[in-house]
Amino acid sequence: MKPHTLSILVENKAGVLSRVTGLFSRRGFNIESLAVGPCEEPGMSRITIVVIGDDAKVEQIMKQLNKLIDIIKVSDLTENERVERELALIKVTAEQGTSRAEIMQIATIFRASIVDVSPKSLVLQVIGETDKIDALEKLLRQYGVKEFVRTGTIGILRGSKLASGGK
Amino acid sequence: MKTGAKILVESLLREGTEIIFGYPGGVVLPIYDELYDSPLRHILVRHEQAAAHAADGYARASGRVGVCLATSGPGACNLVTGIATSYMDSTPLVAITGQVPTSLLGNDAFQESDITGITLPVTKHNYLLKSAGDVGRVVQEAFYIAGTGRPGPVLIDIPKDVSTGMAEDVKLPDKVTLRGYNPTYKGHKRQIEKALEMIGHAERPLIYAGGGIITSNASPELMEFATLSSIPVTTTLMGIGCIPCHHPLNLGMLGMHGTEYANFAVTECDLMIAIGARFDDRVTGRIETFAPHAKIIHIDIDPAEIGKNKRIDVPIVGDVKAVLKDVLTLMKKQGAHEVWLKKIKHWKQHHPLKCPTTGGLHPQFVIRTLSELVKDKAVIVSEVGQNQMWTAQHFCFHNPRSWITSGGLGTMGFGFPAGIGVHFARPDVPTFVIAGDGSIQMNIQEMGTVAANKIPVKIAILNNMYLGMVRQWQELFFDRRYSFTELPAVDFVKIGNAYGIEGMRIETPEEVLPAFQASLDCDGPFVMDFRIEREENVFPMVPAGAAINEMIGGHPR
């Protein structure tokens, strides 16, 4: 059982996301993370899904995904060298004159930026792999994380290789 | 300019549809108005589920796309079992449903149901139309998707304002292209060569033939391959008919209620060639002990079936017919396998299917009598349960598409309405429906349809006043605690008579043949109520979770 990052190129049409997620829920798979957005091809979208499962089960899901008419290409990025990123927004309690300086120091170490400041709180924006974001959130917990919002993972292959199959 | 409803009916005709099965209702009124003076034949069923099964039966018997039509909400929901049945057996079906107007979508409007959402996991694809201008293109795509690759059901949901909306005629392409749908038809040459090499070295090869051979119309190629290479063939429930029953290489059905010799052959073969089959649990029994000594070649059009349940040594993705043609071209030497075939012959002689003759009326005798009477001049449609297994075991099928049954979903209530569709696909031969007293009552209202349209379906009910297959399991595995499986006696002849259908009750073996003859002499539909031995079981049987050579009810080994 290991995480698999699946990159799925789909027609940008109503209902496609539920066709995709339905194949996971039917097999009792929990989707760890999900990101959807338009991509380089007009009329298409790319869905990135992270699931934890054994290789054979994930392979079966990929084959089933490939059978959906609105799906153009499915690839498992986990097989290759890749860059993966998430973005998180974290609202932390930070009263003036207390821990504010410490929080800002931590933000610097994580190369997070402060995107909102108010008398009682700060909002940090951080970009990185899942582990990095988990680590930052854990560190900030002692100050009081009021809200923690993160995107799904997105990924891209290193080098000139493409997830959509071309070169 | 034309209405969406008119474009729909024209598109169906353009696709070569000759008949649809349906049931009208509020939001499909514009479509029904177009049907009123259309050359497209429409059969009014008595329940929408029957419309889906009838269209499916038509598709299975003809190999063409079957079409059914229902209104929104309850009408559409009633199609679902039929659509799921088609999906599990990969049959080409286009289901058309009405929907509330687009302005009311998602409003919990009267008779609204999210049918595209509901049928998502049981359709090959589905569409919710938004404009009359899309109707022509979507119907063309739907037929293409339903009928090509691994076939399956496609649903088109048409809101009322799309049916009444106006659109210009759109010029449709001669050939549909969809960038996300490109089935592989031709097998990989190197893989085929690898398979042939393996076949050349095998001492105890076995062909495991599934419904894909029927779907792909590949029986002639299969027969040629099996005969040239002297490889015995066992068929799945869905594959029955791909090789004549009396052919010396035919081992009959394998699996839970397969023949002993087929299951022995599976267990002892050193090479299994799976063709258009999917290693279903009713076939394999305990999967680890299925074909334990064999290398496996798997030919299938659906790459998702390769390695799904069993590790495959040589996968060949492609249309079964195309692949077998290539196999025949590339095949250099012919096989003999004398020792293996001798062993199989021995098994066949010493482990035949049992046909009890003493006591009352036995269902096996009923099936065999029908088989001998009609020979290859009939299409047999079964319901689900004991009636289905007895027919699969004891009827001698000669041709593909002469055996129509719900395999994957195992839908009770499928057979009788499917038989209606079968009749329209094969009006040249009689259609017999073999039912149990349980399953016939799941769509018995269709007696209204066959009576009103004089559809000459012959209904043979093997009446044991039980839900027989469930009772059999209770007898064998639940200490004879017959929990809710006993059905009170029903006089099916009287029910038939009430609809205006002739019929006969049969209580002794002597009455069986005359009853079948009477059914053939009757121009219209005919009901036969066979009062069979109440606790007759289907044997041999592989208990759930056992290896397939661990059968009960067979001969001592």
Question: What CATH number does the domain containing B215 carry?
Answer: 3.40.50.1220
Q: What is the average per-residue pLDDT within B384-401?
A: 98
Interval B143-170 mean pLDDT: 97
Nearest chain A residue to B146 by CA: give it: A69
| CA-wise closest residue to B96 among B154, B145, B144, B152 | B154
Which pLDDT score is estimated for B488?
95
Are B542 and B554 contacting, i.e. CB atoms less than 8 angstroms apart? Answer: no
Which residues from A are below 8 Å from B304, CB to CB? 60, 63-64, 66-67
Look up tokens 């089960």; give the residue: A57
Minimum-distance CB partner of A22 among B121, B303, B304: B121
Task: State the nearest Cα–Cα gap between A63 and chain B, in angstroms.
Answer: 5
Asked if A22's CB is within 8 angstroms of B120's CB, the reply is yes
Q: Give the per-residue pLDDT at A28.
A: 87
DSSP B537: -
Averaged pLDDT, A88-94: 96
Residues B527 and B383 in one domain: yes
In this predicted model, what pLDDT tens digit does every residue of B501-539 receive, in sequence order? 999 999 999 999 999 999 999 999 999 999 999 999 999
Q: Where would I find the beta strands (DSSP E) of B376-467?
A: 379-382, 403-404, 431-436, 457-463
Q: Is residue B546 part of a domain?
A: no
- Chain B neighbors of A22, CB-CB under 8 A: 120-121
B544 within some domain: no
pLDDT reading at B25 higher than 60: yes
Examine the pLDDT at B332 and tell me if it is beyond 90: no
Count of domains in chain B?
3
Is residue B53 one of the residues assigned to a domain? yes
Label residue A57 by pLDDT band (50, 70, 90). Answer: very high
- Whether B186 and chain A come into contact, CB under 8 Å, resolves to no
B116 part of contact set with chain A, CB < 8 Å: yes
Whether residue B41 is predicted with pLDDT greater than 60 in this model: the reply is: yes
CATH number of the structural domain spanning residue B146: 3.40.50.970
pLDDT of residue A95: 85
For residue range B171-213, what is the model confidence (pLDDT) as tens digits? 999 999 999 999 999 999 999 999 999 999 999 999 999 999 9
CA distance A149 to chain B (A): 29
Q: Is the peptide bond before B525 cis (omega within 30 degrees of 0)?
A: no
Residue A92 confidence (pLDDT) above 50: yes
Task: Please say whether the beta carbons of B265 and B235 come within 8 A.
Answer: no
Q: What distance lies between CA B220 and its chain's CA centroid? A: 20
Judgement on whether residues B200 and B266 belong to the same structural domain of the protein: yes
Q: Which of B350, B375, B404 is the C-terminal boundary of a domain?
A: B350
Chain A residues bordering chain B (beta-carbon distance below 8 Å): 10-11, 14-15, 18-19, 22, 26, 56, 59-60, 63-64, 66-72
Q: Which residues of A touch B121 (CB under 8 A)?
A: 22, 26
Residue A18 Cα, gap to closest chain B Cα (Å): 8
pLDDT in tens, B61-103: 999 999 999 999 999 999 999 999 999 999 999 999 999 999 9
Q: What token pair was written down for B418?
A: 């499917």
Pairwise CB contact (< 8 Å): B180 & A11? yes
Averaged pLDDT score across all residues of chain B: 97
Backbone angles phi, psi at B250, to 5 degrees: -85, 125
Q: Is B548 part of a structural domain of the chain?
A: no
Same domain, yes or no, for B262 and B374? Answer: no
B28/B69 same-domain check: yes
Measure the CA–CA gap between B27 and B426, rounded to whole angstroms.
Answer: 32
Residue A140, H or E segment: helix A130-140
Inter-chain CB proximity B180 and A19 less than 8 Å? no
Cβ proximity of B387 and B381 under 8 Å: no
Is B184 inside a domain boundary?
A: no
Q: Hey, which residues of B are catalytic here?
A: 48, 110-111, 160, 469
Is residue B174 one of the residues assigned to a domain? no
CA torsion sign, B164 to B170 to B176 to B177?
Answer: negative
Q: Is pLDDT above 60 for A166? A: no
- Cross-chain Cβ contact B304/A11 below 8 Å: no
* Distance from C-alpha of B298 to C-alpha of A112, rounded to nearest angstrom: 53
- Give the residue numbers spanning the domain of B480: 363-531
For chain A, which domains are there? 2-80 (3.30.70.260), 83-154 (3.30.70.1150)
Residues B477 and B389 reside in one and the same domain = yes
Q: How far is A19 from chain B (nearest CA, A)?
A: 7
Task: Decide: helix, strand or coil at residue B328.
Answer: helix
Q: Provide the shortest C-alpha distance from residue A138 to chain B (in Å).
A: 40
Q: A164 to chain B, minimum CA–CA distance in Å?
A: 12
B411 and B456 together in one domain: yes
Percent of chain A with pLDDT over 70: 98
Asked if A67 and B128 come within 8 Å (Cβ–Cβ), the reply is no
Q: Judge whether B509 is closer than 8 Å to chain A, CB to CB.
A: no
* Residue B406 sits in the same domain as residue B464: yes
* Whether pLDDT at B472 is above 90: yes
- Chain centroid to CA B534: how far? 27
Strand partners, B207: B233, B273
Same domain, B376 and B318: no
In 3D space, the residue among B54, B47, B58, B28 whose CA is nearest the CA of residue B156 turns out to be: B28
Q: Is the pLDDT of residue A167 over 60?
A: no
The string over A72-89, giving b where at least 16 C-beta atoms fall within 10 Å of a residue's C-beta and e elsewhere, is: bbbbbbbeeebebbbbbb
Contacts of B181 in chain A (CB under 8 A): 69
Tokens coding A138: 């854990």
Q: Which of A126, A152, A134, A166 is nearest to A5 (CA)?
A: A152
Say whether residue B128 is in contact with chain A using an 8 A CB cutoff. yes
Residue in chain A closest to B116 (alpha carbons) equals: A15
- For B480, counting Cβ atoms within 10 Å of its Cβ (0-12 exposed, 13-18 middle, 19+ buried), the class is exposed
Q: Quote helix, strand, coil % in chain B, to nearest 5.
A: 40, 20, 40
Task: Please tell me which residue of chain A has the smallest CA distance to B183.
Answer: A67
- Per CB-CB distance under 8 Å, the chain B contacts of A10 are 180
Burial class of residue B533 in the structure, from the number of CB atoms within 10 Å of its CB (0-12 exposed, 13-18 middle, 19+ buried)? middle
Asked whether residue B492 falls in the same domain as residue B411, the answer is: yes
Per-residue pLDDT of B101-156, as tens digits, reads 999 999 999 999 999 999 999 999 999 999 999 999 999 999 999 999 999 999 99
* Chain A neighbors of B303, CB-CB under 8 A: 63, 66
Domain boundary among B307, B329, B350: B350
Yes or no, beta carbons of B116 and A15 under 8 Å apart:
yes
Residue A164 pLDDT grade (very low, low, confident, very high; cuts 50, 70, 90): confident
What's the pLDDT at B194?
Answer: 98
Contact B402, B428 (CB under 8 A): no
* Chain B neighbors of A72, CB-CB under 8 A: 179-180
Beta strand residue intervals within A27-161, DSSP E: 31-38, 44-53, 71-76, 82-93, 113-117, 121-128, 145-150, 154-157
Residues B336 and B368 in one domain: no
Q: Is A22's CB within 8 Å of B145's CB?
A: no
Question: What's the mean pLDDT in B269-294?
Answer: 97
Q: Which of B102, B130, B179, B298 to mutate to test the interface with A (most CBs of A within 10 A)?
A: B179
Question: How far apart are the C-alpha atoms of B207 and B252, rounded to whole Å?
Answer: 11
pLDDT at residue A165, as a whole number:
63
Nearest CA in chain B to A70: B180
Residue B553 covered by a domain: no
> To the nearest whole angstrom, how far is the Cα of A15 from the nearest Cα of chain B?
8
Asked if residue B547 belongs to a domain, the reply is: no
Residue B145 has its nearest CB partner, among A14, A15, A69, at: A69
Quick check: B180 and A72 CB within 8 A?
Answer: yes
Both B335 and B429 in one domain: the answer is no
Subunit contact B121:A26, Cβ cutoff 8 A:
yes
My answer on whether B388 and B519 are in the same domain is yes
pLDDT at A97: 75
Strand, helix or coil for residue B340: helix
Q: Phi/psi of residue B9, each to 5°?
A: -65, -40
CA-based nearest residue to A78, from A105, A54, A97? A54
| C-alpha angle B420-B119-B441 in degrees, rounded to nearest 5 | 35
Closest CA to B209 of B253, B247, B248: B253
